[in-house]
Structure 1
Amino acid sequence: MAKNKKVTSYDVAREAGVSQSAVSRVFRPGLSVSQKTRDKVMTAANRMGYRPNAIARMLITKQSGMVAVIVSSRANVNYPEVLSQVSKQLAAQNKRVLLFTLDDPDGVDELFEQIWTFQVDGVIALAAHFESHRLAQFEEHDIPVVLYNRNVPDSMANTVCCNHELGIKQLITELEKNNPKKYLVLSGPKDSDVANERREIAISLLKQFDVEDVSILYGDYSYQSGRDCLAKWLQKNPAPDAIICSNDTMAIGVIDEARENHNIHIPNDISVVGFDGITSSAWLSYQITTIKQPVEQLVKAAVAMLLERIETPDLPPEARVLTGVLIKGNSVKRP
């Protein structure tokens, strides 16, 4: 073979004594091929220095092999774990992640243009808010999209979610064992689908528990916003009996602010709950009562749902809801 000439799958097939289609099956995950054939092909490929051409495969399969993953810098601290899981599971299916960040709603048009340009096979939106007409644009471009841990109520979208209602009900049930009179709900930002859903569920459930004194403050999911919200409240109001935080990070901020600057004991003076079950929520200094999201199962469901729609575009929209686990920590006063 001439020097610098690229080795093709036909060269490998000839060397291994198999068909070219057998070589293709070996290098395409999920396709059936005998172990004997696989060994022959891999031996010949390694000896000849052959590697499949991704661009050529894209032309044949009409797929780029890339999945766009959209995140926000304001994403929860467990999203690096989510992103790692997404990348790992997509790689197992010979797909690669193309990462996009969206922090400003004004940047949606530019973001979408980039996604169309790269001709991705599908999209997983980890932490981005899209109106229903925006989701319709993906359909117009024949690109399936799955929303991770969020709902768009007025749109038929593919979604994978933790059961926020059940989780928050479990948290309030724990708080109600002490019969608190005054609640403070620390919500995430108003432009967050998850924050809006958790806040509205909490308010609705508190009404069902006949709780009348409920106040709301808005943060941005961050540790500092948890501290700032509590400090702002205590400037003009007495301490509440219980605080429901939109996530664990804000709950940690609340606990630190209460202890360091206001001489408030958690949980004897104020009971605090969070949501997500991030690693730091279980640290000895906090041990927050929270709902641990089933991250691995959520990611598996999201990836599976997307791949199904890449292969079968006509599948109807689907919503999968998974249940989190109540973690009873030491941030809620015991009866």
Structure 2
Amino acid sequence: MGKRQVSARDVAQLAGVSRTAVSRAFTPGASVAKETRARIEAAAEQLGYQVNHLARGLITANTGLVALIAAEVQTPYRSALLAALTEQLQAAGKIGLLINTDRSDASVAQALKQAIAYRTDAAIVLSGMPDSSLTETCLRNGMQLVLINRDDERAGTLMIRVDDIGAGRQAFAALAAAGCRHIALANSAAGTASLQDRAIGFRQAAAEAGQKITEAEAGPTSYQTGLDLGTGLLSRKDRPDGIFCTTDLIACGVMDAARTRLRLKIPDEVSVIGFDDIEQAGWESYALTTFRQPVEDLARTAVGSLVDLAREHNLQARKTLPVQMIWRGTIRR
């Protein structure tokens, strides 16, 4: 048998105080005499006692756990966002519980059921869309919901988006201003709201300019997708001289297809714009012009909103954060 875990009762006996006094000593803001607190802390240190926050949370209906529901956690942008979210949660005295899903709504539904089962206080959803009935179940169970780059109009949820449509419009304007006349859009087939909105903004700006664009869509939001799309687009007779890629990973693949497979010069023969500003975008081998996702602002807004949702259970809000265009060396200026 394993060694019995040190309990608050053990600390109380060694310190010569009540079990309640030990509980107060480890409760932020609780009133405990200075001498009593010192004896309790010394006893806890001697015994190696640690507060069981999970057990306390089950009693108080506040576990401090926040589910982070995400897919493609290995991608540079998603891993950066998860790192920022966990950092913000820890600073707020909460613990992030990562539930790794695929992109499907069904896997997100299963993840939310797991979050409810573990009595998490909140869920921050980065992937898929929860079914409306499941959303209602979460809210009835007191769980706060924050959706990042996802939409849900029900009360009790906060939707945080970035200005994807505006970025798509700006991407077209930049390529047109660079003198590109055969402009293309390279997109993943993942079909997320963010990718769709970037494409919508790009198409809108092209239509307003009276210019036709070439579109290519396939695969996940990966480097390989970009390599395949780039090879296909740049092998055409009407080869594009400007390409907007809806993610940086796709843009990196497109660039390598242009340079290594087709021996094209960037930006002299083809200009490329990405989206996300992942670490690789700033590498000298890419020096990619792109849009910077406000990762720190997204995380700060998401975690800070948990306080607002706890205070106002009927709160329903939508927040849109701006993105910044980062000019590097893949577009003529």
TM range, smaller chain: 0.7 to 0.9
Aligned to 1:125: 125
Asked whether the 8 Å contact 1:28–1:94 carries over to 2, the reply is no
Aligned to 1:325: 324
**Partner deviation per Cα, 1:192-225 (whole Å, 9 max, x = no partner):** 1211121112111222333233434334210010
Asked whether the 8 Å contact 2:158–2:316 carries over to 1, the reply is yes
Let me know the Cα RMSD of the aligned residues: 3.2
- Give how far 1:12 is off: 5.0
Equivalent residue letter for 2:183? Y
Aligned to 2:301: 301
- C-alpha change, 1:4 and 1:290, in structure 2 (3 Å) is closer
Give the whole-Å Cα distance in 2 for the aligned partners of 1:24 and 1:254.
Answer: 59
Aligned to 2:86: 87
**Partner of 1:88: helix, strand, or coil?**
helix
Aligned to 1:99: 98
Asked whether the 8 Å contact 2:152–2:159 carries over to 1, the reply is no
- C-alpha change, 1:182 and 1:138, in structure 2 (3 Å) is farther
Give the whole-Å Cα distance in 2 for the aligned partners of 1:179 and 1:55.
Answer: 60
Please list, as runs of the form range in 1=range in 2, the aligned pairs for 1:1-335 lying within 5 A after superposition. 6-8=6-8, 11-12=11-12, 15=15, 20=20, 24=23, 27-28=26-27, 31=29, 40=38, 42-73=41-72, 76-103=75-102, 104-130=104-130, 132=132, 134-148=134-148, 150-152=149-151, 157-309=157-309, 311-312=310-311, 314-334=313-333
Asked whether the 8 Å contact 2:268–2:332 carries over to 1, the reply is yes
- Give unpaired runs (5+ residues) of structure 1: none
Give the whole-Å Cα distance in 1 for the aligned partners of 2:203 and 2:315.
Answer: 32
- C-alpha change, 1:16 and 1:263, in structure 2 (3 Å) is farther
Give the whole-Å Cα distance in 2 for the aligned partners of 1:159 and 1:76.
Answer: 22
- Give how far 1:124 is off: 0.6
Give the whole-Å Cα distance in 2 for the aligned partners of 1:262 and 1:63.
Answer: 58
Give the whole-Å Cα distance in 2 for the aligned partners of 1:5 and 1:134.
Answer: 37
| Corresponding residue pairs, total | 328
**Partner of 1:240: helix, strand, or coil?**
coil
**Partner of 1:78: helix, strand, or coil?**
helix
Give the whole-Å Cα distance in 2 for the aligned partners of 1:213 and 1:168.
Answer: 13
Give the whole-Å Cα distance in 2 for the aligned partners of 1:47 and 1:65.
Answer: 27
**Partner of 2:66: helix, strand, or coil?**
strand
- C-alpha change, 1:269 and 1:131, in structure 2 (3 Å) is farther
Asked whether the 8 Å contact 2:166–2:201 carries over to 1, the reply is no
Give the whole-Å Cα distance in 2 for the aligned partners of 1:109 and 1:68.
Answer: 13
Query: Normalising by structure 2, what TM-score?
Result: 0.84
- Give unpaired runs (5+ residues) of structure 2: none
- Give how far 1:46 is off: 1.8
Give the whole-Å Cα distance in 2 for the aligned partners of 1:172 and 1:159.
Answer: 27
Query: Normalising by structure 1, what TM-score?
Result: 0.84
- C-alpha change, 1:214 and 1:233, in structure 2 (3 Å) is closer
- Give how far 1:68 is off: 1.2
Q: What is the identity percentage for the equivalent residue pairs of Structure 1 and Structure 2?
A: 25
**Partner deviation per Cα, 1:148-207 (whole Å, 9 max, x = no partner):** 2x1327656412222223333333332222232221111222431211121112111222
